């Protein structure tokens, strides 16, 4: 009798252990839909409503030092995998979610930023995952726990000398309904000492979550996405040029809004090209801009034009701009109703969910249109890997995929379908493998589709 009870106890213990640990990455890789694919579970996250604005994220970066991948999750973990998806190490980073990842210029270290009460930034060894130093964004922009206004490290870049650059901000909506923006741009040495912060003596009242540094570390340009219209802001310009060595402001540019918008905002750009000569920026209203290193506007194009349909203004939202060796690339995402983004639109805008390519003189070359929102791009050589996520208008779940485009002509060379929306993508430097993060989603009919997992796919 005693042996029977022991056997039942052991069986129950093993079953509970399996249920508790079955989704942990160290049991990966798992076989995917194709023989050459690998699927790695990234843990449990809630399935968010398919049509909501903010959505589950994740970060995957191809590692130049160990021929693998570094992954940051919304559950606050950083993981390192080899090329085939075998886990090398993992490290819980804090209480929040990982929001930014960038490698040191030699590829031996990775700098990781989070959104949390402390907003920490950690430098880790790519080989071992050991933390080398930590910098706190909360000391740079503060925190307001009572408003759940936590520091977020929105973006990290590095220059050829190994210096790091950070965009840190937090956001709160006050009791009177006014949106409050608090932000700074900072630079750190390779060993983690602060070089400068902008502004030096105060916070910016600006949503500044994106910037670009030229490779030589001479110029830093950041954009703002200030949606508040009820107060007068101290930092109202759309683009600010800084001396990247000192943090001194050199120039600012105001871009007049176009009807029916009352403000110009930028969220996913600007970006410098690889040689630092051209800067591409994209406004949410659908206008694309190209500047030279000195900040002179070379040309602009109206890629997506607001249209009035059935009494409602609809437009495809512009986001990314990238100078590449094959031309200047811009992207748009979903079609939205100007009056209220929660309201449906009668039609999809013909410029929505697209990649547009122009030559350096501004001549149109091609448009490639996806079936869902273009969430992210990564580049290697002559290829672009594209994360295709939700189409909040059509709810077309067949859109979810990671797609590889040839930059020269926009031809689709390969694609990897997934059940849930694709939120992040990376391509290996040798152009042979992609990795992509899928998120779960709650559909309007109550179904949950997809899962929080990493896909690794060898290109055809």
| Burial classification of residue 127, based on how many CB atoms lie within 10 Å of its CB (0-12 exposed, 13-18 middle, 19 or more buried) | middle
**Residue 421: DSSP 8-state:** P
Helix (H, G, I), strand (E, B) or coil at 255: coil
Counting every residue written for the chain, the total comes to: 460
DSSP string, 269-315: --EE-TTSSEEEEE-TTSEEEEEETT--EEEEEE-S--EEETTEEEE
> Residues 23-48: what's their mean pLDDT?
65
Neighbours of 285 (CB within 10 A): 25
Instruction: Quote the pLDDT of residue 8.
Output: 38
- Residues of the chain with pLDDT > 90: what percent? 70
In the chain, what are the domains? 93-254 (2.130.10.10)
Indicate the average pLDDT of the chain: 88
Q: What is the distance of C-alpha 52 from the center of its chain?
A: 17
pLDDT per position as a tens digit, 107-154: 999 999 999 888 899 999 999 999 999 999 888 888 777 667 788 899
> The pTM is what?
0.90
């Amino acid at each position: 009798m005693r042996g029977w009870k022991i056997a039942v106890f052991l069986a129950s213990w093993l079953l509970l252990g399996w249920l508790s640990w079955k989704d942990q990455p160290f049991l990966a890789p798992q076989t995917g839909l194709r023989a050459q694919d690998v699927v790695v579970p990234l843990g449990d996250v809630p399935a968010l409503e398919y049509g909501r604005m903010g959505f589950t994220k994740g970060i995957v970066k191809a590692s130049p030092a160990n021929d693998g991948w570094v992954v940051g999750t919304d559950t606050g973990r950083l993981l390192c995998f080899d090329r085939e998806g075998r886990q090398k190490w993992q490290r819980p980073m804090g209480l929040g979610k990982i929001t930014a990842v960038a490698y040191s210029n030699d590829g031996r270290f990775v700098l990781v930023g989070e959104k949390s009460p402390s907003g920490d930034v950690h430098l880790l060894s790519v080989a071992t995952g050991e933390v080398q130093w930590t910098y706190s964004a909360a000391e740079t922009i503060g925190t307001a726990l009572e408003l759940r206004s936590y520091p977020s490290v929105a973006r990290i870049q590095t220059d050829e000398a190994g210096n790091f650059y950070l965009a840190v901000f937090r956001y709160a909506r006050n009791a009177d309904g006014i949106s409050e923006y608090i932000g700074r741009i900072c630079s750190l040495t390779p060993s983690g000492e602060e070089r400068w912060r902008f502004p030096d003596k105060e916070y910016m009242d600006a949503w500044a979550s994106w910037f670009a540094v030229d490779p030589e570390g001479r110029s830093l340009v950041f954009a703002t996405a200030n949606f508040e219209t009820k107060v007068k802001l101290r930092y109202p310009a759309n683009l600010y040029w800084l001396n990247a060595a000192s943090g001194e402001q050199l120039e600012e540019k105001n871009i007049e809004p176009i009807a029916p918008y009352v403000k110009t905002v930028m969220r996913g750009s600007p970006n410098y090209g690889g040689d630092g000569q051209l800067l591409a920026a994209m406004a949410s209203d659908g206008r694309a801009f190209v500047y030279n290193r000195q900040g002179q506007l070379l040309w602009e194009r109206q890629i997506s034009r607001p249209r009035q349909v059935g009494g409602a203004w609809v437009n495809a939202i512009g986001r990314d701009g990238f100078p590449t060796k094959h031309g200047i690339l811009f992207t748009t995402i979903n079609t939205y109703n100007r009056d209220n983004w929660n309201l449906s639109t009668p039609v999809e805008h013909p410029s929505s969910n697209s990649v547009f390519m122009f030559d350096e003189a501004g001549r149109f070359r091609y448009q490639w249109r996806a079936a869902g929102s273009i969430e992210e791009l990564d580049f290697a050589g002559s290829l672009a890997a594209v994360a295709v996520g939700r189409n909040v208008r059509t709810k077309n779940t067949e859109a979810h995929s990671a797609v590889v485009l040839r930059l020269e002509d926009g031809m689709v060379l390969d694609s990897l379908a997934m059940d849930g929306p694709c939120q992040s993508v990376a391509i290996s430097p040798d152009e042979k493998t992609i990795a992509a993060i899928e998120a779960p989603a709650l559909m309007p009919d109550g179904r949950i589709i997809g899962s929080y997992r990493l896909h690794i796919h060898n290109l055809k």
